Structures are given as structure tokens and as C-alpha cells.
Amino acid sequence: MSKHTIVVCDHIHEDGLNILQNTEDINYVYAADIDKVALLDVIKDADVAITRSSTDVDEKFLNAATNLKAIIRAGVGYDNVDMEGCSKRGIIAMNVPTANTIAAVELTMAHMLSCMRKFPYAHNQLKQDRIWKREDWYGNELYGKKLGVIGFGNIGHRVALRAKSFEMDVVTYDPYIPSTKATDLGINYTTNFDDILACDIITIHTPKNQETLDMIGEEEIAKMKDGVILINCARGGLYNEEALVNNLKSGKIAMAGIDVFKKEPATDHPLLDLDNVTVTAHLGANTKESQKKIATQAAENAIESARGIAYPNALNLPIDESKIPTFVKPYIELTQKMAFLAAQLDKSAIRSISVCAHGEIKDYLDSLATFATVGALAVSAGDEINYVNAKFIAEEKGIKFDTCEVNHCSGYNNKVTIKITTEKRVNTISGTVFDEDVQRIVELDGFDFDIEPKGKMILMRNNDVPGVIGEVGKLLGDNKINISDFRLARGKDSALAVILVDESVNHKILDQIKTLEAAISVAYAEV
């Protein structure tokens, strides 16, 4: 019987190692204790590798692992994995995204309780200083307090349910879910972010992306109650850390519970100097139970992928360029970009995704639909979405799918059209590829364009009247925003402008553009 070689590059729980060691058709190689240079020799015969954060799956690693078919990242994050390099080599990269869910939920509750009762400081006074002063430690109860939960996904909704068991008043903000997902659980749902800012305690559970980075800053904190408590056990940088420090010092924020930092390790962070913060060193997955789950799931996934049975939680779709026509790959990339763009134009729950194709590319509609789904959901789901689970997650959200072949399409040999229907509107984007790999968006909501799907874009629908371009240009100039390109398409009564800019645009600037008399709608996206 031929055996499949699985190399364990980093330390995982012994339960996972035992599964590998006791599987008859697996040649298990333990390489967690050797240096990373020597590891390059060990992995040359590996069919599958299991790694954690200590091993960089970079170009050197991939060049050495000439037989590698799959790699398992035993955990959630995969910043140390060269995803593009894996895809080019046909290597399937997987992670273990749900094994630490309960651990992260419970750590959030621990920080919440610690902030309310100042538990770490009371503990230190008695244990380290040997001082018994009960009068120093009058805390507050969770009972009756209003909790704002930003992000109602796998972790956020479990935090909300546990908070309800403390008889808290819970409200959630997540524009990418149907409201019934929350209300069916007895959780209040809001589309007004100010409702969250009015809460006694706020906890954030979103992916880290362009929309959520620095989601809570000085402006948002100014709207909060005096004495608010903030919790972040999700991703570093979701709260603006400078604003967090300033407002903890002033007392506007009474306490903060922080497990994650923008830059880690954070041993010199100014938050550590404050007496109204509970901090932990990114311990969201650090329970014995979650480590067992991570190790056993990683081992089981490695065995399945070594046997070629399944690739659970695949993060990429292996593209073997020798087995597909060369023209297909840029269309697949373009389709994902267009869906990603369309989802940013209307930040509300998606109801349906439609992909239509004309020309030879229509033979790859299934692949196009998968990439469109990943692109559309990446805005709201972040790291949770991948090419294997995309349709399952979409179905869980009640999103309908549709694909169609278009027989006549004047002017283009191949053309792909994405239509995303949300609770508020329908967004349609069409694109094609010129000269083998030049990707272009050629239509936006019925307006003809020629735009590269790349960069920072302001999209403004306006009444077709004189002076609009000048007004927008002046407004952006006043805000130190440089325009790199300005594309305008005209319809019967209105026009659509796509304004490419060099700097990110915040909601304040967008609100200013919306006040222009001719403006009908304004959106911002980054691709």
C-alpha cells in the first residue's frame, strides 16, 4: 500500500499527532522542532504540510516542496501563507476557521466582566500587594445594561446570546445579514450605527478590511455615552488605537477590554500604561479545548486532502494553467473583482447573485459563479469566505443564485455580467478582457464605461446639468484628495461619474458630495 506523506511543520496538540501516527496509509513526519532551513529538505517529499504561524509558506518553502498538493494552516489566520504562490502551483491552501469559536466568545465575555468589575486590578491588589480594601472595588453589573454588537457572524451572534442570559438589552449592527437572523433570536437589529454608539458596552466582531479598519475613531467615540466600555477580541485596528488611548485617558471611555492589537507583539503599547484597560496577548484561541479541535481538524483535513477525497475550508482554488485555456484566468479574476465592487456600492444584505456570460467564457459559468460569490461576500464575511464554502455560506444567508448564457453581445467576443440584488437596489456590472489579460469594466448600471477594475473609486449618479464636474473637483481638492482619472457616462436624464482618486475617502467627504444639488447617489469602493 502506497503511503501519503504529511509533514507537521509546527507544534500542534498531541491529539492531532496521534490521528496522523495511527492512520495506516499516512507517512507522518514530525518536523516542528527542527530549524526552518533544515525544514526545506524535509518537505521536499511532502504531499501535505501542516503549519501554524511559526512557518512562513513563502517562495522558498514552495520551491522546496515540489510534491506538495495541499497545505493546512492549523488556525484561522493565514497571513504567513503565499496564497497566490500556492494557487499558481496548484496547491490547495486550507485553514481551520471555526475550531476556536467558543474560545473567542468566552474570552469576549471574560473581558466584558473584567471591565465591569475591574477584576484584574482587584486581584492584583490582594494577591500581589496583600491589601484588603473592598471599598476600592465598586463595579457595575451587566444586568440591564445595553450591549451593542458590531458584526453578527459566527462569534458575534454567540456573544449576543450569552449577553441575553445575563439579562442585558442587546442590539446588533450588521448591514450584511437579513434582520431576521437577529430578531429570530430575540436580538434587536438596527441599520443606524448611532444606535450602537448609544450603548453602555460595545463589542466588535467583524473581519478586518478597508471598511472596518479604524471603524471606531474620535468621531464615533464623541457620540458615545460618557463612561462607555469597549471590547475588542476580533482583529487589531478595528478601533483606532490612538483615539482609544486618548479617550481612556480622558475618562470618556471608562474601561476597554483588548485582546488584539494593530501590530503584534504589543509589549510597548501605550494601552499597557493605563489603569482602565484589561489586556491579553491575542488569546482568542488559547484554550485546551480549541487547541485540540484545531489539531484534530487539521489532521483530519490533511488526511482527506492527501487522499484526494476533499479539501475542507479551502482558501484558494488551484489554477493549473496547463489544463485551462489561457484566456479563462483573467476572466475569473475580473468576475471576482466586479462582484467585490458591486457589493461595496450598496452595503446591505444581498438577496441574489446572477452571473451571465457571452462567448467561449460561458463554458466556465460554474467557476465564474463561485468567484463572483466569493467577491460579493468578501466585503461582509472577510476571512470566513473561501472558494469551497462560498455557496454554502450564501445559501445560509438566503442568497439565491442564477447563471445564464447570452447568445448575442454586440462588440465583444466574451463578456461577463454580474447582477447583485440587495434589500435596497440592483447593481449591475459588465466586463471583458482585451489582448489576453487587459481587464476592463465596460458597463455600470446601464452606463457604458472603459475602466480598469483597480484602485479607489467614487461613483456618483447625478442629474445631467452643467457644473457638476467642477463642484466635485473643488470639493475633493479642498479635502486634499487628488483625482487620478474622471470617467463620465451620460444617459437620457442623468449621468454616472466614476472618479478614481489617490487617497482613501471617508464618509465625511462622501456626505459632502451627497449635499451637492445635482447628486442622486454617491458610493465609494476600493478594488
Structural domain span for residue 143: 101-279
Q: Where are the alpha helices (DSSP H) in 89-188?
A: 101-117, 119-127, 156-165, 179-183
Residue 177's CATH number: 3.40.50.720
Task: Considering the candidates 157, 158, 205, 235, report the single residue annotated as catalytic.
Answer: 235
The pLDDT tens digits for 260-315 are 999 989 999 999 999 999 999 999 989 999 999 999 999 999 999 998 887 888 88
Q: Which of 234, 506, 244 is nearest to 382 (CA)?
A: 234
The pLDDT tens digits for 103-155 are 999 999 999 999 999 999 999 999 999 999 999 999 999 999 999 999 998 89
Q: Is 317 inside any structural domain?
A: no
The pLDDT of residue 117: 96
User: Contact 12/50 with Cβ under 8 angstroms?
Assistant: yes
Residue 417's CATH number: 3.30.1330.90
The pLDDT of residue 498: 94
Q: Which grid coordinates are listed for 442?
A: 465596460
The pLDDT of residue 327: 85
Measured from the Cβ of residue 339, the count of other Cβ atoms closer than 10 Å reads: 30
Q: What mean pLDDT do residues 74-86 have?
A: 85
The pLDDT of residue 417: 96
Whether 235 is a known active-site residue: answer yes
Could you tell me which residue, 209 or 181, shows the higher pLDDT?
Answer: 181
Alpha carbon separation from 137 to 111, 112, 128, 201 (Å, rounded)? 16, 16, 16, 19
User: Contact 235/213 with Cβ under 8 angstroms?
Assistant: no
Distance, CA of 423 to CA of 425 (rounded, Å): 6
Distance, CA of 446 to CA of 492 (rounded, Å): 11
The pLDDT of residue 98: 85
Same-domain status, 441 and 473: no
Q: Is 319 inside any structural domain?
A: no
Whether 264 is a known active-site residue: answer yes
Same-domain status, 144 and 255: yes
Same-domain status, 243 and 273: yes
Same-domain status, 120 and 23: no
Q: Is 315 inside any structural domain?
A: no
The pLDDT of residue 415: 95
**H/E stretch holding 501:** strand 494-501
When pLDDT is cut at 50, 70 and 90, the band that residue 320 belongs to is low
Distance, CA of 340 to CA of 158 (rounded, Å): 27
Q: Is 85 inside any structural domain?
A: yes
The pLDDT tens digits for 445-464 are 999 999 999 899 999 999 98
Task: Considering the candidates 59, 84, 167, 264, report the single residue annotated as catalytic.
Answer: 264
The pLDDT of residue 382: 67
| Final residue belonging to a domain, choices 410, 427, 453 | 453
Same-domain status, 518 and 414: no
The pLDDT of residue 317: 66
Same-domain status, 414 and 351: yes
The pLDDT of residue 392: 76
> pLDDT averaged over the chain?
91
Domain count of the fold of the chain: 4
Q: What mean pLDDT do residues 25-39 have?
A: 95
Q: Is 284 inside any structural domain?
A: no
pLDDT at 220 over 90: yes
Same-domain status, 86 and 113: no
DSSP codes, 211-236: TTTT-B-HHHHHTSPTTEEEEE-S-T
Distance, CA of 448 to CA of 496 (rounded, Å): 9
Q: What mean pLDDT do residues 483-492 have?
A: 91
Measured from the Cβ of residue 523, the count of other Cβ atoms closer than 10 Å reads: 16
The pLDDT of residue 409: 63
DSSP β-bridge partners for residue 224: none
pTM, full prediction: 0.77
Residue 505's CATH number: 3.30.70.260
Q: What mean pLDDT do residues 429-454 have?
A: 92
**H/E stretch holding 449:** strand 447-451
The pLDDT tens digits for 367-408 are 899 889 988 988 887 656 777 777 778 888 889 989 999 887
Q: Is 312 inside any structural domain?
A: no
When pLDDT is cut at 50, 70 and 90, the band that residue 207 belongs to is confident
| Final residue belonging to a domain, choices 402, 435, 453 | 453
Q: Is 162 inside any structural domain?
A: yes
| Final residue belonging to a domain, choices 399, 429, 453 | 453
pLDDT at 322 over 60: no
Same-domain status, 184 and 260: yes
pLDDT at 410 over 70: no
Same-domain status, 257 and 119: yes
Same-domain status, 361 and 439: yes
Same-domain status, 247 and 163: yes
Task: Considering the candidates 13, 52, 157, 282, report the single residue annotated as catalytic.
Answer: 282
Start-to-end Cα distance in the chain? 49
When pLDDT is cut at 50, 70 and 90, the band that residue 319 belongs to is low
Q: What mean pLDDT do residues 189-210 have?
A: 94
Q: Is 313 inside any structural domain?
A: no
Same-domain status, 188 and 241: yes
Residues 6+ apart with CB under 8 A from 67: 5, 44, 45, 46, 47
